[in-house]
Amino acid sequence: MVCTAQDACHMAGFCDPATGTCSNPTNAPCDDGDACTADSCDPAAGCVFQPVTGLEAATCLMVPQAFCQPIPPAVAKWIARAQHWIARAQANGDPLDSRPYLERAARAFKKAGKKTVRLANKRRLSPACAQALGLNLFEARSRIEQLRKPH
């Protein structure tokens, strides 16, 4: 005998006639493949994908697209520096004291963006990669700039 799913996070199950209990296996984990969303299952709505916030909203953008791997070393160097400064800001914990680290991270993202443009102009980076990488670097820098502003 088939049992109905107990909520949107579970599948229909089977009733055990001996015990009268119903198995309700969970659905596959919610994963939209986007590093910039926090994926979860809401019992009423099912899969929910909320945008990440804070410093994670900038670092999530640095997951390279498959067609853009490996990231050119000259660009990867500046991304690594930005990630270093973001990690220092996270470890600091105090938003006000973290602002110098965030400023350095924003500058590193800007330099990575400039290097991306130069490589694209020299045809050492595909147009698709240059566009995707450039947009992500610009967006990461913008998000860092927003975090630097006093609230």
**Over 70: is that where the pLDDT of 151 sits?**
no
Distances (CA, A) of 142 to 12, 13, 57, 103, 135: 45, 47, 10, 11, 10
Whether 40 contacts 73, CB under 8 Å: no
My answer on whether 93 and 38 are in the same domain is: no
- The pTM assigned to this predicted structure is 0.73
Q: Who's near 50: CB < 8 A, 6+ residues apart? A: 37, 38, 40
Residues 60 and 40 in one domain: no
Amino acid 121: pLDDT: 95
User: Which tens digits make up the pLDDT trace of 2-15?
Assistant: 888 888 888 888 88
DSSP state of 67: G
CB 39 within 8 A of CB 31: yes
Same domain flag for 122 and 61: yes
Within this chain, do residues 12 and 69 fall inside the same structural domain, yes or no? no
pLDDT band at 137 (very low <50, low <70, confident <90, very high): very high
Tell me the per-residue pLDDT of 74-99, one tens digit each, with 9 for 90 and over.
999 999 999 999 999 989 878 788 89
- Comparing 101 with 27, which gets the higher pLDDT? 101
Is there a single domain that holds both residue 97 and residue 139? yes
Q: Which domain holds residue 40?
A: 2-51
Write out pLDDT tens, residues 105-135. 999 999 999 999 999 999 999 999 999 999 9
Average pLDDT over residues 28-44: 90
**In terms of domains, do 46 and 66 share one?**
no
In a shared domain, residues 62 and 135? yes
Which pLDDT score, from 0 to 100, does residue 58 have? 85
